[in-house]
Structure 1
């Protein structure tokens, strides 16, 4: 038996995550198993800087530096052999994103790779999403982040089309209604056009918010959420105050505000595609990083 320690760092618009995994292989030729050893989430909302001010603030840069120093020490303690760090839309769109990445590299030796939406989707697809997809069915994969949402259409086991839109949870909190309406209209047109002729379509949702929604539902692992449930849950969340979502649902403060716009994205995707259920396999960028590292794809 061989045990390899790998780590993925996901620098998103709403939070930064470090995932440490034990990758276990044996001599019998079985598929490797990926066991989470540690998951650390730090709520540094870079999107609030990038999408409003156009650059990462000095305060958040310092917080990032401290987080990366901590992640480096944690990886050393865990005996991590390989890691890969990805930054998505907030760092990508910040005028000083590359400059911040270079300073972090100089001070912590952590190299941050600023990636585009297509690479982000490709990394996530390296997870066990194939275990969910049935060859004779169609799916709309929706990955909601803080700064952008990735949509991918699968049919008969193949990718039909994929597109990233600048509509994420942190952005929606800060967009004015006119800006938001333009992008909502673009997404509606794209989803309807790319799913129009697909029958028996279901959705696959990824992102921290849909994972939390799924946990709150109490559904057994593997069972999808229905359109009816998502509609009811959206109204339930909207009627609660920010404080009530924290106290009554035990949501973290940085989750309690973004979970409402996130639910609206998943719900609209279901309506526009005609999908009546959404599967939630609890996959994310950090999981994809670890699996891509193991398979030497990054």
Structure 2
């Protein structure tokens, strides 16, 4: 099943005719539980903004997992690979310089989800970023905000997917709440619906289950609303768009284009749910505006929306056609420095999320910031000489440096291993799953053993490149930690001088107090430098300069 906004040839002619120097073509793919979506856009850094060139969709049903094991099935993975291969062809035809792909609920939860990501890379050379539920919600917010003006008023965003439902409360600025709940149209249909039409017992059980699952997220969201605030509800996703299309056809006789901004009420939705529950699958499939595959899951999706609206106390929903895949584009623009004013607050999400986790686990921020500064100084001064990593890897090193000691929150003994687990499962926002895993491993190896293939946490990194990043950047972090061994800021600056002939790296250290011999820092450097020297094939020579 494929949906496109226009024929590729028409699109490419249009954007080639209107493109200016500096414009960039980017594709974003959302690997969802029900459908795979792709959007190809022309990014215009001078504005900054993006224009959608083409959209593509295929109903893969990746969420049709083995009910006993939870594994993605071979058939579903094969359908997914074929869809992604076709997406790549379209992106190449439209001259996309990069394809950014993210995977969500179905891949997150399947025991073989990581294997599927590796298979995609092996067969298609496409790197897929696995993102957490909260990160998915954040990017949905970015996608919605790219097309709707909230005017600093509170808005609730609901996105009903195949495997999860995201709820976001925001007001043009920092999102107040980001939640992802395991209720989705495909998941609930496969797990709870066995009758056709649905029996009264199954319907009421499904309704009660949805209420129970949404309760925590709704309570959290409502707690962040002021008594005087009346939020507007914005809905995204295929389920909500389908409901809007059915409603528009029956009420207006036509479907607005674009659909963004179209509204329907809770009462309208209740009436539709009551109709759908009395209909068989074949009867639902005859409703104008609903596809055969959507007809299978529309009742569960509509019921999720109905119960969410009741629990939130809102009576009208406004449709937004932009969601996760457009949010991926906005996030790409942010990380590449292409958005400077609108949404500027989002550009620092990584740093702010890292500091939030650090505070949560009682990290000494003065100390960790000094270690981060040393690590980044070493990174910058050896870039192009000892390593060739760029801005993205630098950001991973920064977060690892700030969080390297958070394991003390659990125990002093083996705290580097505790740091790994706290970072790995700490819901860092702004990072993909692979990036979080990389940060956790860099922090893990700031002391004791160097990375080894026999270590499961190191071996399970997504690729050889990720393991190289960990090995090289953790070696830099070791030196940075040694430079503040007493945690008092005894050394103020470090200057690196590399002799490529002798392969000597001279580390000139400036003490904060000229009378301080920084003996403990020098000893710590001697103790920690062998791992660094072995990794880079150099000899490190530290000298105190006054």
TM-score normalized by structure 1?
A: 0.88
Q: Judge conservation of contact 1:201–1:274 (CA < 8 Å) in 2.
A: no
Find the structure with the greater CA-based Rg: 2
Q: Distance in 1 between matches of 2:110 and 2:242?
A: 28
Q: Report the equivalent of 1:206.
A: 236
Seen in structure 2, the aligned counterparts of structure 1 residues 52 and 46 have a Cα distance that, compared at 3 Å, is farther
Within 5 Å, give how 1:159-238 maps onto structure 2.
Answer: 159-176=175-192, 181=208, 184-192=211-219, 194-195=221-222, 198=227, 199-218=229-248, 221-238=260-277
2:305 to 266, 271, 286: 266
Q: Judge conservation of contact 1:204–1:279 (CA < 8 Å) in 2.
A: yes
Q: Residue 91 in 1 paired to residue 111 in 2?
A: no
Q: Residue 71 in 1 paired to residue 87 in 2?
A: yes
1:275 to 296, 300, 314: 314
- CA apart distance, 1:168: 0.8
- CA apart distance, 1:184: 2.6
1:8 to 24, 28, 45: 28
Q: Which consecutive residues of structure 1, in runs of 5 or more, have no partner in the other structure? A: none
Q: Residue 105 in 1 paired to residue 144 in 2?
A: no
Within 5 Å, give how 1:11-22 maps onto structure 2.
Answer: 11-22=31-42
Aligned residues: 293
Q: Judge conservation of contact 2:26–2:97 (CA < 8 Å) in 1.
A: yes
SS in 1 for 2:286: helix
Q: Distance in 2 between matches of 1:128 and 1:250?
A: 23
1:256 to 279, 288, 295: 295
- CA apart distance, 1:89: 0.9
Provide the alpha-carbon RMSD of the alignment.
2.5
Q: Report the equivalent of 1:32.
A: 49
Q: Distance in 2 between matches of 1:44 and 1:133?
A: 33
Q: Which has the higher contact order (CA 8 A, sep 6+)?
A: 1
Q: Judge conservation of contact 1:153–1:159 (CA < 8 Å) in 2.
A: yes
Q: Judge conservation of contact 1:50–1:90 (CA < 8 Å) in 2.
A: no
Q: Judge conservation of contact 1:50–1:91 (CA < 8 Å) in 2.
A: no
Q: Which consecutive residues of structure 2, in runs of 5 or more, have no partner in the other structure? A: 1-19, 193-201, 249-254, 337-430, 432-546
Q: Judge conservation of contact 2:181–2:217 (CA < 8 Å) in 1.
A: no
- CA apart distance, 1:145: 0.8
Q: Distance in 2 between matches of 1:110 and 1:103?
A: 9
SS in 1 for 2:63: helix
Q: Distance in 2 between matches of 1:93 and 1:51?
A: 13
SS in 1 for 2:64: helix
Q: Distance in 1 between matches of 2:79 and 2:172?
A: 45
